[in-house]
Structures are given as C-alpha cells and as structure tokens.
C-alpha cells in the first residue's frame, strides 16, 4: 500500500479512537426513539466532521429533539474549523437542554477559541450553581475551570481578583493542580508588580513542570532586579528550541511567550 494511503487509513482510525471519548451508554437512555438516537449519535461521533456524521446527528435530533449531546457533538467540527456562528447556534441549544453537562465546556471554548473573557466568566460563574465545590476540568485537561475563570478576570484587568481565585483553588484540599497553575499565578503577580510572589510561583512551577515561558519570566524578574538574567535567557531559548513550550493542539495558550520575545529580552 502506498505510504500516504496507509497514513490516511491510520488517520481515520485515530479519529475513531479519539472520538470514542464522546460515547454514551445507550442502555441508560429512556424511550425507544431516544435510545435509537443515542446509538446513531455514538456512530456519528466516530467520524467527526464528515458529511455522514453530521447527517447522523441530524437523524438523532429528529428522533430525540431533546438529546443535548447530539447538538454538542454536531457543533464540535464547526468550532475546530473556525465557523463560530454555526457552532454557537448548536452549542447554545445543547446548553439550554442540559446546562449541567455543557455549560462548562461552552465557557472553556469561549475562553480558548475566542478570548471572549466576559462570556467565559458568565458561563463559569453560572456553572457554580451546578458544581459549587469543583467546576471540573477544561476540555484539554490543562486547567481546572476556576483557573480559566481567574485568567478571564486577569485578562479583563481584575488581576487581584484573579490571583485570589488561583490562590484559593491551590489551597483547596484534595485539589489536583493543572499543568500551568503556578505559571499563570506567577504572571498575574508579575503584572501586579509583586515580584517576590511571582518568582515564588515560577520556582514552584519549575519544580513541577518547567518550560520556556516560565524560565523567560524568571529571567525577566532577574532583569528588573538588576541581577544577572542572561543565563536564564539562554536557558529559556534552549528550552524553547527543545520544544518544551506551552502547547495546545487548536489554539495558543493564554500568556504564551514566543521565541522572538525571549530573544528581545
């Protein structure tokens, strides 16, 4: 088989594999039509973005118009491919039908794909009604949604509030830290001019998982304090070139730093 053909097939299998996460146990669904809709939904989820998949979701919705997951999954390829108008119409429908299930996801997407900070805050503050103890994780797993809320407040200039949210989250018993929690808190303190607290968090981040952006900020603090910062700058560039940077498949991270910014430090 031609090399590309092989890849093409393995790519299809990967789509099937990654989308099995969306699978629903249809035995738990009440009503014959909705059970059938659920089975159609599971099948369609395996081929996300394809014509047959979108048609499958339509059939599922026709059979069971209140089946929120079908709207949500039908919306996903529009989000990934940049058609936000169509995405919004569908995801709003999913949220209206099942806010507990889809509100957090919509809030995360508003933050991640559109930098719609006010929209994200609105969704995530409302989500607290359903999950007062723990808002859950972002879709990519990198953040707790309370940290996403904090980053949104930070972007809107409410940095003290943002730092407070992250501090409280980190102090919560049993909290499982996100990948970049201390970095985001460190940047917030840096922007507030609180360099001791900033550095404390960048150092903690280094201990848990270090990456170029974090080293860049440590270097920046040193420079502000008239200390030797060049070794850290060199390390940040080296780490960047090794590929240890803030990465996301679909978008760029909040507070991501580019190589050029490190070079210009």
Partner 1 sequence: MSKYPNTVGDIEFDRKLDAADLKKCGAGKDKPFSFQYYHGAKGFDYKGEKIAIVEKLKKENIYSENKSNGFITVRFLVNCEGKTGLFRLQHMSPDLKDTVLDVELENKLLQFTQSLDGWIPKEINGSKVDYYQYLTYKIENGKVSEVLP
When binding is defined by CB under 8 A, the residue of 41, 67, 78, 190 that contacts partner 1 is 78
Q: Coil, strand or helix: which one is 144?
A: strand
Binding segment toward partner 1, per CB under 8 A, in 29-37, 78-86, 145-153, 209-217: 78-86
105 interacts with partner 1 by CB under 8 A: no
The encoded tokens of residue 161 equal 């509030």
Q: Collapsing DSSP states into helix, strand and coil, what is residue 211?
A: coil
Q: Who's near 212: CB < 8 A, 6+ residues apart?
A: 236, 237, 239, 240, 244, 245, 257, 262
If one asks whether residue 81 binds partner 1 (CB under 8 A), the answer comes out as: yes
Q: Rule CB under 8 A: which of 162-221 touch partner 1?
A: none
| Residue with smaller CB distance to partner 1, 4 or 176 | 4
Q: Judged by CB under 8 A, does residue 258 bind partner 1?
A: yes
Q: Hey, is 150 helix, strand or coil?
A: helix
Give the H/E segment covering residue 216: helix 212-224
119 near partner 1, rule: CB under 8 A: yes
Q: What are phi and psi of 138, to 5 degrees?
A: -70, 160
* Smallest gap from residue 91 Cβ to partner 1 (A): 10
Q: Minimal CA–CA distance to 80: which of 91, 69, 70?
A: 91
Owner of token pair 């996801």: 105
Q: Which stretch binds partner 1 (CB under 8 A): 25-33, 194-202, 208-216, 249-257?
A: 249-257
- Report the interface residues with partner 1, using CB under 8 A: 3-4, 6-8, 11-12, 49-51, 54-55, 77-78, 80-85, 87-88, 113-116, 119, 247, 249-252, 258-261
């Amino acid at each position: 088989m031609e090399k590309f053909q092989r890849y093409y097939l393995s790519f299809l299998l990967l789509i099937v594999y990654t989308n099995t996460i969306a699978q629903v146990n249809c035995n738990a669904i009440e009503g014959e039509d909705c059970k059938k809709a659920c089975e159609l939904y599971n099948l369609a989820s395996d081929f996300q973005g394809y014509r047959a998949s979108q048609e499958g979701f339509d059939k599922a919705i026709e059979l069971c118009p209140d089946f929120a997951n079908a709207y949500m999954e039908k919306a996903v390829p529009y989000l990934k491919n940049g058609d936000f108008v169509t995405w919004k119409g569908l995801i709003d429908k999913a949220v209206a039908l099942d806010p507990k299930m889809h509100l957090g996801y919509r809030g995360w997407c508003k933050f991640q794909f559109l930098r719609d900070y006010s929209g994200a805050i609105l969704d995530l503050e409302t989500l607290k009604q359903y999950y007062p103890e723990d808002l859950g994780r972002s879709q990519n797993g990198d953040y707790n949604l309370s940290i996403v809320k904090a980053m949104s407040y930070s972007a809107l200039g409410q940095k003290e509030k943002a730092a407070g949210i992250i501090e409280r989250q980190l102090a919560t018993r049993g909290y499982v830290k996100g990948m970049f929690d201390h970095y985001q808190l460190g940047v917030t303190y840096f922007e507030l001019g609180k360099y001791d607290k900033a550095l404390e968090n960048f150092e903690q981040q280094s201990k848990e998982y270090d990456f170029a952006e974090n080293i860049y900020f440590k270097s920046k603090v040193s420079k502000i304090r008239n200390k030797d910062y060049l070794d850290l700058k060199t390390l940040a560039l080296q780490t960047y070139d090794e590929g240890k940077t803030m990465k996301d498949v679909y978008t760029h991270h909040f507070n991501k730093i580019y190589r050029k910014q490190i070079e210009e430090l």
